[in-house]
């Protein structure tokens, strides 16, 4: 099946004292879900049409050696995939806007069996194609003009031939799709709909509500008591379900192991990387290169302790900006305008297209009760991207929005320039466009800092961005690699084992000058990305690529812009390593990561010099 990417990102908070209900958000300030289907009745008709189309697809089995039959089969398969994508996203986006709404839950639940049905109906296609002589299959894209867009698809098939099972077995495996996702779905429901955090009592007798999105604001507050209390209450709540989270995570890994073993991969990490032709060395190099530059991070934590003037630096102190307040906020319209100014190196056409998306209901930016935590972009081929965030007028909200608009514009250009079969860019490439936007924004803010305090703030932002996106995500990647290897070696994952590993890695990455608070042992269970196996390392590689690309865009003018926009428009038309190389970045070596750590070092040097 050909599906569109889903890109989660960091949480954003909102400043209101109370969290509004979904129905209190003006319709014109919500994303235009009606662009997918005008009404729920239209959605239901589309959903109910899927089984018949799946039955029609099954009739092509045994006929794919004929180019005309193959084209008709693939055309129908794409029609089903696109229809399923729209049906799925309509329900999924509705549910994420209000996770406690039972109607939306029922809608989303009704789609999942259809996804399995579509997968089962199409399961014969790849195995049957691979029974054809290699010469015959390789020649198919040249047999008819309509088959030409499938050239890369067929080349990938041939490369993965040893991992494809006979049709009957692939059909059986397709039926397990929703079962294999059950742990992830249970985790999402539990964290977003059922997990309740206690209010934080204040000195004046009032109480502040605590949620995942609000925690992101509290943990950066200059009020140390608020930071400590929100940290304690949040992670203590997670600790109360430590065995449940362990069970869910273990089940998710075992589902991945089942699929990897069944498809004859030597490991789960190989199953994640090989389909996109990503060398395993890229993953290991990311960890090794980051480990080699940990002294820079330790130097940063020591500086942070000095600048915050605390006797002990705790984990709940780490996110506090050195300059707490910019003495300015960024209302939503102003934040959008600031992003446009910062993205000037991307050119007028890019900015015009992005503004059209902002004005046309791409973005759902208010917080409301029951809204899914964090932020993401979801591309829907033939419609437009959708962005979810909770905008709070702070600079971090601007950064999050710029990040998600990077994803959205990547999807927009890919969908506009590519046929459906090659429109879906790989996960490895996914974080490049988003992080390039973030970097361009930050470089713009540094360049236009109007005071020493602003300069300090944005230097700290740059350091924090690299800490959170490269150091922290590589830390996550190392945790993930270790836990999956333990399952493969039949080592039981208990809450104690996971917590011990998490604390050990924290001590290694953050060094001796920070207190690793005991509550932090629950933090692993708070990371939803762990239910997307071997995803997180791509934040680090994507950031390293983005540092290189943003520098080229700012310094090399039209040539760099042309190469970059061509990259955005290339979608999934080639292997991700090859696509990035065409854009001017070679991720098979450690150079992009070294450039990133050099940037970290230079920012650290400047910060130390200013604050002596």
So which residues are the catalytic ones? 404
Q: How many Å apart are CA 566 and CA 584, to the nearest integer? A: 12
Q: Where are the beta strands (DSSP E) in 480-585?
A: none
Altogether, the residues listed in the chain come to a count of: 612
Q: Which two tokens stand for residue 460?
A: 């700290």
Residue 3 neighbours by CB under 8 Å, 6+ apart:
81, 85, 424
Closest CA to 566 of 555, 553, 547: 553
Number of H helices, E strands in the chain: 26, 6
Q: How many Å apart are CA 226 and CA 560, to the nearest integer? A: 45
Q: Which residues pair with 262 in a beta bridge?
A: none
Residue 127 neighbours by CB under 8 Å, 6+ apart:
164, 165, 166, 167, 170
3-class DSSP string for 104-137:
HHHHHHHHHHHHHHHHHHHCCHHHHHHHCCHHHH
Helix 591-610 vs helix 280-292: crossing angle, to nearest 10? 20
Q: How many Å apart are CA 358 and CA 27, to the nearest integer? A: 15
Return the number of other C-beta atoms located less than 10 Å from residue 95's C-beta. Answer: 25
Give the CA count within 13 Å in the CB-facing half-sphere of 221.
17
Q: How many Å apart are CA 121 and CA 599, to the nearest integer? A: 50
| Cα angle, residue 281 at apex, residues 279 and 285 outer, rounded to 5° | 135
**Residue 89: strand, helix, or coil:** helix
Q: How many Å apart are CA 253 and CA 579, to the nearest integer? A: 30
- State which H helix or E strand residue 201 sits in: strand 200-201
């Amino acid at each position: 099946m050909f599906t569109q990417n889903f890109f989660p990102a960091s949480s954003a908070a909102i400043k209101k004292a109370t969290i509004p209900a979904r129905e209190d958000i003006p319709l014109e300030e919500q994303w235009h879900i009606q662009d997918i289907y005008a009404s729920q009745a239209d959605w239901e008709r589309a959903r109910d049409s899927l089984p018949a189309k799946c039955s029609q697809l099954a009739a092509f089995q045994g006929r794919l050696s004929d180019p005309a039959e193959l084209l008709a089969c693939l055309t129908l398969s794409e029609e089903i995939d696109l229809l399923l994508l729209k049906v799925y996203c309509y329900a999924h986006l509705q549910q994420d806007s209000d996770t406690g709404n039972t109607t939306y839950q029922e809608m989303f639940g009704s789609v999942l069996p259809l996804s399995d049905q579509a997968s089962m109906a199409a399961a014969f296609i790849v195995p049957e194609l691979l029974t054809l002589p290699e010469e015959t299959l390789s020649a198919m894209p040249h047999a008819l003009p309509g088959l030409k867009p499938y050239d890369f698809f067929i080349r990938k098939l041939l490369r993965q031939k040893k991992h494809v099972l006979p049709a009957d077995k692939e059909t059986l495996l397709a039926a397990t799709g929703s079962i294999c996702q059950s742990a992830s779905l249970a985790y999402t429901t539990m964290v977003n709909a059922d997990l309740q955090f206690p209010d934080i009592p204040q000195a004046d007798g009032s109480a502040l509500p605590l949620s995942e999105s609000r925690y992101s604001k509290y943990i950066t507050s200059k009020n140390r008591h608020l930071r400590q209390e929100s940290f304690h209450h949040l992670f203590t709540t997670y600790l109360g379900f430590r065995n449940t989270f362990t069970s869910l995570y273990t089940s998710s890994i075992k589902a991945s192991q089942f699929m990897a073993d069944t498809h004859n991969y030597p490991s789960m990490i190989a199953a994640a990387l090989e389909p996109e032709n990503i060398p395993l060395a890229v993953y290991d190099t990311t960890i090794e290169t980051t480990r080699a530059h940990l002294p820079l991070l330790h130097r940063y934590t020591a500086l942070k302790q000095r600048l915050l003037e605390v006797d002990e630096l705790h984990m709940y102190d780490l996110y506090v900006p050195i300059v707490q307040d910019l003495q300015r906020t960024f209302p939503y319209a102003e934040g959008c305008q600031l992003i446009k100014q910062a993205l000037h190196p991307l050119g007028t056409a890019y900015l015009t297209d992005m503004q059209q998306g902002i004005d046309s209901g791409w973005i759902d930016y208010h917080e409301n009760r029951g809204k899914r935590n964090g932020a993401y972009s979801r591309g829907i081929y033939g419609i437009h991207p959708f962005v979810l965030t909770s905008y709070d007028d702070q600079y971090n909200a601007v950064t999050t929005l710029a990040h998600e608009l990077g994803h959205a514009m990547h999807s927009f250009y890919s969908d506009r320039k590519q046929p459906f079969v090659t429109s879906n860019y790989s996960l490895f490439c996914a974080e490049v466009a988003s992080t390039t936007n973030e970097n361009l924004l930050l470089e713009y803010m540094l360049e236009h800092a109007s005071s020493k305090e602003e300069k300090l703030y944005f230097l700290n932002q740059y350091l924090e961005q690299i800490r959170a996106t490269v150091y922290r995500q590589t830390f996550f990647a190392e945790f993930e690699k270790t836990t999956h290897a333990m399952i493969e070696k039949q080592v039981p994952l208990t809450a104690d084992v996971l917590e011990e590993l998490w604390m050990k890695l924290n001590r290694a990455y953050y060094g001796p000058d920070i207190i690793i608070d005991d509550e932090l042992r629950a933090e692993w269970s708070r990371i939803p990305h762990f239910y997307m196996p071997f995803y997180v390392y791509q934040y680090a590689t994507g950031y390293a690529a983005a540092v290189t690309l943003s520098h080229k865009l700012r310094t090399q003018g039209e040539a760099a812009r042309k190469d970059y926009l061509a990259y955005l428009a290339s979608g999934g038309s080639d292997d991700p390593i090859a696509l990035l190389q065409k854009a001017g970045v070679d991720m098979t070596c450690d150079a992009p990561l070294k450039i990133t750590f050099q940037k970290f070092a230079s920012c650290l040097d400047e910060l130390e010099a200013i604050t002596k």
